[in-house]
């Protein structure tokens, strides 16, 4: 009995030593470090489930307070988030959407059957004017996905003219007839979506020719710097797709190449949104971590043809995707948002930040009521998810200069496999404020970090943390504030050395002041 007690004590000390072993991070200020584009913090709103209708849009006659039919509480929440851009109308829906069906008198608009998402009939009451006016109110750049799959070249060219042309033309005249004198000046345009799949099941070589054709007839007039044209890019590790696009589309016609990667453990069995175990959680983290490898390898291909980095990588669909509980569902692809989603958000945003030399835009899927949403609604009720809070904490990196860092992450191990437990990114803004964001995905262990900040002459630290008692915790309509950011004080700063203790499954953002 005594020997067992001694052994247990020694084992406990060993575990405690391993869990508290320090990880040293080297952080430097480089003259040519890239700017972390604010557009990395973009969002996505597809006509899917209750994202648009009964989400964003309730109609002007709704008893829910609204601005031109869009919920005021959602507008205010997204303003607080400082969303830089919003992608619409899809997704798969984009290649079945005909924009002219969504303009003009409401009672004269044709209906559309959403064949991709639930087979529901939509009345086209939310259209181009609604979306672009919403973006203006939010202070966000609109990112329009053009219909290449079922729409013609002229249809897309007309949409560009309708939204952007100042002078007299058939489309600008039509815009004025519909109540909008000045154009919106839409800069960001996706030329099709998932052309390898729902956008037409095309081969890369075929899509290249389609892209070049559509891009040719999209006028750059009346937009400062011209249109920013984004090609439908690869799905996950389809590196050949990126190779074919970069090799065969002239850089003069191409500003961005998309990449889609979802955190899905198995497309045939995605697992539950709430009632998951640690095994499922670990598999989710493994799939989320794949983003680092995908960006690195797609970037290497882009570098072969574009060493000057004139073409951007656009991760315009990312996030967690789980099986829908049909008994609890509030619409197609509705899912709850737990601390697992906070880990996915923090990890991916750190990855994007650290690849800011090539990644210039990303769009979380999706904004309201669908997949890894930042907002959930139930009639008049609205809640902010853990993912919302991570995005709000990380917004300090928008348009700040990346501070490159190096470190060897401790491991998060489960079932004989290991992953890096930590992702970290840092930046310094125009006011010389330094921000450092940490995500610890380890389900069980604290991890202690040290950073030498003497080069930056840091004097004062403050911070916030997002965590909870269980990975499965979430904000509900009955308890909307179960998971919210709290003040973080588990750090020390002595002689320029910052020591931080990160709890299990936590997101921490520190602000460092020079005086």
d(C-alpha 272, C-alpha 335), whole Å: 9
Establish whether 194 is a catalytic residue.
Answer: yes
d(C-alpha 505, C-alpha 343), whole Å: 7
Q: Which residues contact 479 (CB under 8 A, 6 or more apart)?
A: none
Q: Which residues of 238-248 are buried (b: 16+ CB within 10 A; e: fewer)?
A: beebbbbbbeb
Q: Which residues of 447-457 are buried (b: 16+ CB within 10 A; e: fewer)?
A: bbbebbbeebe
Establish whether 310 is a catalytic residue.
Answer: no
CB 163 within 8 A of CB 116: no
d(C-alpha 230, C-alpha 214), whole Å: 12
What percent of the chain is helix, strand and coil (3-state, nearest 5)? Answer: 30, 25, 40
Q: At 155, is the secondary structure helix, strand, or coil?
A: helix
d(C-alpha 280, C-alpha 270), whole Å: 9
Q: Is it true that the peptide bond before 91 is cis, omega within 30 degrees of 0? A: yes
Q: Which residues contact 342 (CB under 8 A, 6 or more apart)?
A: 386, 387, 389, 390, 466, 483, 505, 507
CB 487 within 8 A of CB 508: no
d(C-alpha 22, C-alpha 280), whole Å: 28
Note the helical H segments in 355-446.
386-394
Q: Which of 177, 181, 317, 431 is catalytic?
A: 317
The CB-side HSE value for 498 (13 A sphere, CA atoms) comes to 26
Catalytic positions, please? 194, 317
């Amino acid at each position: 009995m005594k020997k067992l007690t001694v052994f247990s004590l020694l084992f406990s000390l060993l575990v405690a030593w391993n869990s508290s072993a320090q990880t040293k991070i080297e952080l430097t200020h480089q003259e040519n470090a890239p700017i972390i584009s604010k557009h990395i913090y973009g969002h996505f709103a597809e006509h899917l489930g209750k994202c648009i209708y009964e989400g964003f849009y309730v109609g002007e006659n709704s008893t829910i307070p609204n601005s031109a039919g869009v919920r005021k509480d959602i507008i205010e929440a997204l303003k607080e988030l400082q969303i830089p851009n919003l992608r619409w109308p899809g997704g798969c829906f984009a290649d079945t959407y005909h924009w002219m069906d969504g303009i003009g008198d409401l009672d004269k608009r044709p209906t559309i059957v959403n064949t991709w998402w639930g087979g529901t009939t939509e009345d086209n009451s939310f259209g181009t004017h609604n979306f672009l006016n919403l973006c203006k109110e939010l202070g966000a750049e609109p990112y329009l996905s053009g219909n290449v799959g079922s729409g013609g070249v002229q249809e897309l060219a007309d949409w560009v003219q309708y939204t952007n042309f100042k002078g007299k033309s058939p489309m600008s005249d039509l815009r004025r007839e519909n109540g909008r004198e000045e154009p919106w000046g839409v800069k960001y345009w996706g030329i099709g979506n998932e052309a390898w799949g729902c956008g037409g099941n095309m081969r890369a070589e075929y899509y290249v020719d389609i892209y070049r054709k559509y891009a040719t007839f999209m006028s750059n007039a009346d937009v400062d710097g011209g249109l920013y044209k984004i090609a439908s890019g690869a799905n996950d590790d389809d590196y050949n797709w990126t190779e074919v696009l970069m090799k065969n589309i002239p850089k003069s016609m191409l500003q961005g190449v998309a990449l889609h990667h979802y955190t899905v453990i198995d497309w045939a069995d995605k697992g539950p949104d709430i009632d998951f175990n640690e095994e499922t959680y670990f598999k989710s983290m493994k799939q989320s971590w794949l983003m680092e490898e995908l960006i690195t390898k797609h970037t290497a291909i882009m570098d072969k043809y574009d060493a000057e980095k004139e073409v951007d990588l656009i991760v315009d669909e990312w996030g967690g995707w789980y099986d829908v509980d049909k008994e609890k569902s509030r619409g197609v692809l509705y899912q709850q948002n737990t601390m697992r989603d906070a880990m996915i958000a923090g990890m991916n945003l750190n990855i994007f930040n650290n690849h800011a030399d090539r990644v210039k835009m990303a769009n979380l899927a999706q904004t309201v009521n669908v997949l890894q949403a930042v907002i959930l609604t139930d009639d008049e009720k609205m809640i902010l998810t853990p993912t919302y809070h991570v995005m709000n904490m990380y917004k300090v990196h928008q348009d700040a200069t990346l501070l490159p860092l190096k470190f060897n992450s401790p491991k998060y191990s489960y079932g004989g496999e290991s992953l890096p437990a930590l992702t970290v990114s840092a930046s310094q803004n125009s006011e010389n404020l330094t921000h450092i964001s940490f995500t610890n995905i380890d389900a069980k262990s604290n991890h202690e970090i040290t950073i030498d900040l003497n080069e930056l002459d840091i004097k004062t630290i403050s911070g916030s943390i997002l965590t909870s008692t269980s990975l499965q915790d979430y904000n509900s309509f009955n308890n909307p504030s179960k998971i919210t950011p709290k003040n973080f004080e588990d750090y020390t700063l002595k002689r320029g050395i910052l020591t931080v203790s990160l709890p299990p499954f936590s997101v921490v953002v520190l602000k460092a002041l020079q005086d």
